[in-house]
Amino acid sequence: MAFGLMLFLTNVVLGVVMMKQSTNIIQELVRKNMLSLSNTAADILDGDALGALTEEDVGFEVYNEIYDDLTSFQNNIDIEYIYAVRKIDDNHFIFTVDPDPEDPAEFGEEVLVTEALISAGNGVAMVDNSPAQDEWGNFYSSYSPVFDSKGNIAGIVGIDFNSDWYDLQIREHTISIAILTAASIAVGGLIIFILISNIRRRFDFISNELSVLSNDVDALTKEITSRNDYKESIENNTSDKEESIDEAGDEIELLGEKLHSMHNELDNYLSFVREKANTDALTLVGNTTSYTERLKGIEEKITDKSADFSITIFDINDLKGINDYYGHQYGDLIIKAAADSLSSVFGIEDVYRIGGDEFIVIKENMDLKQMKEKVKEVNSKIKLYDETEMEHKGTLSLSAGSTAYNPKKDRNFREIFKRADDLMYSNKKKHYDHFHKMKETYH
């Protein structure tokens, strides 16, 4: 009796802990998706134009272009509210562009200040930890800074997500976990019942009930594993289970195996959710979350002088022009093709998408000469892709900047990143200068 009670309490505690872990992971996944949307919206805006806007520009061409970009993004992504904001000081922000067709904010109207907005005003994108309420409703907001050509913060893009929508996303995923956890606890309770009952006297009854329970558990497991592209196959069938009952002659052992299997399935599901939270949805390479985690390890090695790595920053040339001319759907194909080329050369585990059109590759134990050879391989793959695969040939090209960690002068990763970023922008300028020269020669 005491053993059965201890087993049941352990099962309950384990179920509660795993429920809490899974809810936290799901919340993180939803928040990262929200942040990805605001980052993408910020990438499509012209920072120089946004930073120069004044109230007198309202209704004129430069204002209307930004207004149309925000409206197009809002319609394509199907979000409720999107707008541009300007920082006046740490606790003072105003609206600059609000494309809401029904009740837009005026240029210069005060914005409700939250922790996420202050963070974006300081250059770091962030999602609100709790909902805020103003005259437009109750919502969570995701804010991302927009930078001008000099790297200064020209403005902020805000996207509001209705708090009911946010809670619904969490609830739908949590219910799936709760079903599997509750089923696991129920099986644990049944084990206790069997331990304190006369197994032989009720053998036929328990065998029949066990068969029904096994089918129900399989149905619940298949329901869970069919969601969110989770495609783990389950290879059991009813006849096999019934044969196992007869051969084993021990319902407790079979129920214990079922309980163990269910816990394993829940672990697999949580691992799947964690992977989704660290993967860029479009390209399947690492996202900003996994990139940030990678940097923690790099910084530790820099501190103890054990670091040995090279990096390359890649930027897709003229993605905005491609989106404007061919449409965002084709632009997404360009982004994915770039990611596939990088992954095939460097390995998907070392490639991260850190912006709408920007990627970074981090290769440990690789010197700068080897890194540059790899970059040549990438360019060869992209050239072949442009020549053979693309509907609009010749539209995909990358500007790259490569550098390696130098223990004698690099104090942190930021210095290495800036060096690679400067090289990348220098190569991008050469690309555009060559393009304009060829255009003038053609005309």
**Could you say which of 101, 135, 166 is where a domain stops?**
166
Domain count, the chain: 2
Give the mean model confidence (pLDDT) for residues 252-263: 62
More confident position, 138 or 4: 138
Please, which residues have CB within 8 angstroms of residue 99's CB and are 6 or more apart in sequence? 67, 70, 71, 74, 82, 83
pLDDT at 297: 94
Q: Looking at residue 273, what is its pLDDT? A: 65
Classify residue 102 by its DSSP letter: S
- pLDDT one-digit tens code per residue, 31-40: 788 889 899 9
The predicted model gives 7-12 an average pLDDT of 64
* Bigger pLDDT: 197 vs 126: 126
Radius of gyration from C-alpha coordinates of the chain: 27
Contacts of 115 (CB under 8 A, 6+ apart): 126, 128, 129
Q: What is the mean pLDDT of residues 221-242?
A: 51
**Neighbour tally for 294: CB within 10 Å:** 19
Q: For residue 115, is it within any domain? A: yes
CATH number of domain containing 419:
3.30.70.270
- The residue-averaged pLDDT of 178-187 equals 73
Strand partners, 367: none
- In this structure, is residue 222 part of a structural domain? no
Instruction: Answer yes or no: is 158 within a domain.
Output: yes
Mean pLDDT to the nearest integer, 232-239: 43
Give the whole-angstrom CA distance, residue 286 versus residue 353. Answer: 6
- All residues at 6 or more sequence positions from 236 whose CB lies less than 8 Å from its CB, including other chains: 218
Range from 48-52, 152-156, 277-281, 355-359 carrying the lowest mean pLDDT: 277-281
Residue 179 in any domain: the answer is no
What tens digit of pLDDT does each residue of 406-422 get?
A: 999 999 999 999 999 99
pLDDT in tens, 57-115: 999 999 999 999 999 888 887 677 899 999 999 889 999 999 988 889 999 999 999 99
Please tell me the predicted confidence (pLDDT) of residue 346: 96
Domain at 34, CATH number: 3.30.450.20
Tell me: pLDDT of 26 over 90.
Answer: no
Helix (H, G, I), strand (E, B) or coil at 303: helix
Query: For the chain, what is the mean pLDDT?
Result: 81
The answer to the question of residue 322 being in a domain is yes
| 386 occurs within a structural domain | yes
Q: What is the DSSP string of 204-241?
A: HHHHHHHHHHHHHHHHHHHHHHTSTT--------HHHH
Residue ending a domain, among 108, 143, 166, is 166
The answer to whether residue 215 sits within a structural domain is: no
Among residues 139, 166, 193, the one where a domain terminates is 166
212, pLDDT greater than 60: yes
Structural domain boundaries, residue 139: 25-166
Least confident of 161-165, 306-310, 349-353, 435-439: 435-439
Helix (H) or strand (E) holding 34: helix 2-44
H or E, element range at 344: helix 328-346
User: Does residue 247 have a pLDDT over 50?
Assistant: no
In this structure, is residue 379 part of a structural domain? yes
User: Does the pLDDT value for residue 338 go beyond 90?
Assistant: yes
Residues 6+ positions from 168 with CB-CB distance below 8 Å: none
Q: Is residue 280's pLDDT more than 70?
A: yes
Q: 353 — phi, psi (to 5°)?
A: -95, 115
Greatest mean pLDDT among 74-78, 97-101, 245-249, 313-317? 313-317
> Does residue 300 share a domain with residue 162?
no
Q: Give the model's pLDDT for residue 296.
A: 94
CA 88 from centre of chain: 31
Share of the chain above pLDDT 90, in %: 45
pLDDT at 118: 94
